Amino acid sequence: MTLNRRKFLGTGAAAASLVGLNGLPLHAQGKTLNVTAYGGVWEQAVRDCFVAPFEAKTGAKATVSLGGPAQWLAQVEASPDNPPLDVLIMSPDLAVLAAEADLMDDFTVEKLPNLAYIPQEFTDACLGKGTYFDYGVGGITYNKDVVAEPPRSFADFVDRVAAGEFIASIPSIQYGPTTVFFLWALNNALGGDVDNTDPFFEAMAKMKDNLVYWAGPNDFFNHLASGEADLGIYFDGRTWNHVDEGVDWIDWINPEEGGAITSVAIQKPKNASDLAWDYLNEVLDADNQAKFAEILNYGVTNTQVEYSEKLAARVTPLSEANLPPYAEIARVRNDWVDRWNREIGM
C-alpha cells in the first residue's frame, strides 16, 4: 500500500517523537539510510562531514552510493513508491526536473531547522523541493608564468583571445555544466539572455582560431601545463585544489561581470525514509559545511559558516557572482546544445 503524502509525513513526525529503551529515537533503531556522493575526495568528505555526525546523533547507519545525478534520478523514477535512495545529490538542472515531476518532497524549516540559514533563493531555485548546499564559480584561470596581465572581465577575455593575444582553453559541450557556467555566463555578460544567445555565438566565432576545448577538468589543467593554452574558463575550487597540490603557477579571477554560480543541490525523494531529514539537516549544518568547504575548496551556502583565513581569501562571495536561472535554462537547453553542435561542433 502506498501512503499518501499527508499520512506519510504525519507518521514520520509521530515516530520521531518516540524514544526506545536504548535512548535512541524509534525511527533510527535498526535503520539504514542510503545517501549519495560523487567519488574521490567528495566521497570521503561526505562520510567525514555529514555521515559521521548523522550516525553519531541518530544511532542509525548511512551507506553511500556513488555515481551521478542522472543515474540516481533514473533509479527514483523507476521506483517512486519505494525509492532505493533516500537522499540525492543533484545538479541544478536535474533538481528542477525532479521537482517539476513531483518526485521530491518539500523542504521546510519545520523539517530542516538549518534551512533557516540558507538563502531563500537557493531553495526557490529547486522549486521548494530541495536546496543548494555548496557552490563553485566559473571564472578565468591562467598561467602566471606566461600571462602577465590577465583579462579582468569576460568582455576583455573575448577581445584579447579574438585578437590572438592568448590561446584559451574552454569547456566543450560534452561537459555537462558547460551550458551554464560558460555559455550562459558569457552570454549574460555580453548582454544576452536565455532567449537570445547571439552574443555568445558571435563571441565564439570571433575567438574560434585561438581556442582549444576540454571535455573534462583534468584536460584543462593539462592544456595549461603543456603550454597548449595560456588561460581559460575553469572553476575557482578546482584551481585552488591544484594550488594546494603544489601548482604555484596558476591563479583564478572572478570576472568583473561575475561568474556563474554552479551549485550542488540536495533533495529527498517522496516515500524515502523520514530519517533523511536528520541527515539533510546535518548537510545544512554550519560546522559541517565549514569542514566540507575546507576539504573541497568550494563555498557553502549556510550563512553562519565562518571560513578559515585561507579559504575566506579564495571563496567567491555570493554577492559577487550570478545565480543562473536554472528553470529557464532547462526549457531551452536542448536548443542551445543543438545550435552549439551546428555552429561550433566541439
Q: In this structure, are 272 and 154 located in the same domain?
A: no
Q: How many domains, in total, are found in the chain? A: 2
**Phi, psi angles (nearest 5°) of residue 144:** -65, -25
Read off the CATH number of the domain in which 336 is found: 3.40.190.10
Q: What is the pLDDT of residues 238-254, one digit of tens each?
A: 999 999 999 999 999 99
Q: In this structure, are 332 and 186 located in the same domain?
A: yes
Radius of gyration of the chain (CA): 21
Q: Are 3 and 271 in contact (CB under 8 A)?
A: yes
Q: In this structure, are 251 and 178 located in the same domain?
A: yes
Q: Where does the pLDDT of residue 185 fall: very low under 50, low under 70, confident under 90, or very high at 90 and above?
A: very high
Which residue is it, cell 567525514? 48
Q: Are 256 and 150 in contact (CB under 8 A)?
A: no
Q: Which domain range does residue 198 map to? A: 136-260+324-343
Q: In this structure, are 269 and 212 located in the same domain?
A: no
Q: Would you list the DSSP string of 289-321?
A: HHHHHHHHT-EES-TT----HHHHTTSPPGGGS
Q: In this structure, are 50 and 81 located in the same domain?
A: yes
Q: In this structure, are 233 and 127 located in the same domain?
A: no
Q: Where does the pLDDT of residue 2 fall: very low under 50, low under 70, confident under 90, or very high at 90 and above?
A: very low
**pLDDT recorded at residue 24:** 38
**pLDDT recorded at residue 117:** 98
Closest CA to 119 of 260, 300, 254, 277: 300
Q: At what angle do helices 92-100 and 69-78 cross, to 10 degrees?
A: 10
Q: Three-state SS string across 90-152, please?
A: ECHHHHHHHHHCCCECCCCCCCCHHHHHCCHHHHHCCCCCCEEEEEEEEEEEEECCCCCCCCC
Q: In this structure, are 144 and 241 located in the same domain?
A: yes
Q: In this structure, are 50 and 65 located in the same domain?
A: yes
Q: Report, as an integer, the average pLDDT of 221-250.
A: 96
**pLDDT recorded at residue 13:** 35
Residue 327: CB atoms within 10 Å: 19
Q: Are 211 and 148 in contact (CB under 8 A)?
A: no
Q: In this structure, are 110 and 193 located in the same domain?
A: no
Q: In this structure, are 95 and 172 located in the same domain?
A: no
Q: What's the rounded Cα separation, in Å, for the pair 185 and 192? A: 9
Q: In this structure, are 143 and 240 located in the same domain?
A: yes
**pLDDT recorded at residue 98:** 96
Show the cell assigned to 111. 523539517
Q: In this structure, are 180 and 292 located in the same domain?
A: no
